[in-house]
Amino acid sequence: MFPFADVIKGIFQQAPSILIGGPTFLFYWLMVAVVALLYQRVTEMEKKVHGLVRNESLDQTIASIFHGFIAGLAGSFVLIFVGVSLSMSDTVWVIGLALILMVVDRRLICFSYAGGIVSLSALLFGWPKVNVPGLMGLVAILHITESLLIRFTGAGCATPVYLQHKSGRVVGGFTMQKYWPVPIVALVMALITDRTLLSGLTYMPDWWPLIRSPAMPLNDPNYIFTMIPVVAVIGYGDVAITCSPAERARRSARHLALYSLTLLGLAVAASRYPAVAWVAALFSPLGHEFIAVSMSRRETRGEPAFVPPPRGVRVLDAMPDSPARVAGLRSGDIVLEVNETPVDRKADLFEWFRPSGPETHAAAGTRGPGWLPHLNLTVLRGHRRLTIRATELRREGGLAGLVMVPEEGDEHQVEARTTHSLKDFMHRAGEAARQGRGPKP
């Protein structure tokens, strides 16, 4: 029987050392600082675009530390349950190549590409010497951890923007950027020279590890597996155009989980049937690329969700803690009337927010007998018609924290484009070679 309690105990003993001391302590907090700077860039962009902040960098950083730690515990358990062991050569080759690929295109830093290329090189040329099944297992489990983070927190840092759609229209949407410093407890194989250290060991079942390597001296009593803490940083960038950020994150997580489990199955099979290693090494980059490109094209070429409705004005977002959010307005709401007066353009709606806004049943702004200090908004939410009474929306010169979908004449803030495919990169590289220069992402 698998020693669940002992493994969980070992993980909980090792993981906190990453945060409060130990050999990876400084590197972990350096990565936290990098994550904080990335969130600060999001905050500055929101200030520039909207004049308001939807995602506070400090709040996002603290949340990412917490969520990354929890996901790291889950990923560590899966890593040990499967029995993926790391070696210095395996990780150095993958990390080094991933950094080189990042220069070409930032999204290629993903280990699925570097791991696949290193594994194919090892299979084709016998160099570098790496454990292909173990490397593919590591890539798979890191992506399982990423899919969990995306599923539950991926929509937690979404910024409303106007995007240039493939069709040429300016549409509403959300850019989604999340980063997590993830402490991982991994396995290494160690040679024991002091036999007294063998007391108190946890003995694993005969079927373990699931991913085996011919180089592992499993029957040598002088070798044992030991846990070590390591640090990973996981990033997620996406755009939501055809659906809400939450739904977009669910879709991405679902596809990434399917990819991860498939690759993990191939890694287990490859450790027993060497021919399957070729399939795993090819599937690692190509499977990931297929998911990335197909999901991106579905989003950028699908029917936009945040466009002007036939009647009324649609809310793209209501900023947190703003008068609009406090009043009860939410992303996707369609405001049909204000104080029983129809509104069909953003200007019609925002005119009401001024203290000297239109009277009830009137179009002009002078205060008369029908003027009310509060606003009654008739809102269509899905198929429900609601009345929202708002007393804090009349703010001189402000938009009350509302971001409406773009109308004709509005300019885009972001260009929604399909993720570069490997085919695109090869084409650009060929063009660059003919012109005697390096390819650009």
Q: Give the helix/strand (H/E) hosting 194.
A: none
For residue 163, give both structure tokens: 């995007």
Tell me 201's DSSP state: P
Residue 427: pLDDT band with limits 50, 70, 90:
very low
Per the CB < 8 A criterion, the answer to whether 287 and 255 are in contact is no
91, HSE (Cβ side, Cα atoms, 13 Å) = 13
Per the CB < 8 A criterion, the answer to whether 182 and 190 are in contact is no
Query: Whose CA is closest to 80, among 180, 183, 191, 3?
Result: 3
Residue-wise pLDDT tens digits, 401-415: 889 999 988 888 876
The pLDDT of residue 420: 45
Is pLDDT above 70 for 144? yes
State the CB neighbour count (10 A cutoff) for residue 367.
Answer: 12
Higher pLDDT, 361 or 293: 293
Query: Whose CA is closest to 234, among 69, 101, 82?
Result: 69
Report the C-alpha gap between 264 and 84 in whole angstroms. Answer: 11
Residue-wise pLDDT tens digits, 268-291: 999 999 999 999 999 999 999 999
91-100, 211-220, 255-264: least confidently modelled range:
211-220
For residue 393, give both structure tokens: 């929306």
Report the C-alpha gap between 294 and 421 in whole angstroms. Answer: 10
The pLDDT of residue 193: 62
- Beta bridge partners of residue 386, listed in sequence order: 379
For residue 113, give both structure tokens: 């590409």
**What percent of the chain is helix, strand and coil (3-state, nearest 5)?**
50, 20, 35
DSSP string, 346-404: HHHHHHHTSTT-PPTT-SS-S--TT--SSEEEEEEETTEEEEEEESS---TT--TTEEE
Report the C-alpha gap between 65 and 67 in whole angstroms. Answer: 6
Residue-wise pLDDT tens digits, 354-401: 766 565 444 444 443 345 567 899 999 999 999 998 776 665 445 678
Is pLDDT above 80 for 300? yes
Report the C-alpha gap between 157 and 296 in whole angstroms. Answer: 19
Query: What is the SS3 assignment for 108?
Result: helix
Per the CB < 8 A criterion, the answer to whether 163 and 239 are in contact is yes
For residue 259, the one-letter residue type is Y
Report the C-alpha gap between 102 and 117 in whole angstroms. Answer: 14
Using alpha carbons only, what angle is made at residue 65 by residues 63 and 67, rounded to the nearest 5 degrees? 65
The structure tokens 């679902």 sit at 254
Helices (H), 83-182: 88-104, 111-125, 132-153
Per the CB < 8 A criterion, the answer to whether 79 and 183 are in contact is no
Q: Domains along the chain?
A: 4-301 (no CATH), 313-405 (2.30.42.10)
How much of the chain, in percent, has pLDDT values that exceed 70? 82
Per the CB < 8 A criterion, the answer to whether 123 and 132 are in contact is yes
The pLDDT of residue 274: 93
Contacts of 70 (CB under 8 A, 6+ apart): none
Query: Whose CA is closest to 227, among 123, 86, 358?
Result: 86
Quote the pTM value: 0.85
Residue 39: pLDDT band with limits 50, 70, 90:
very high
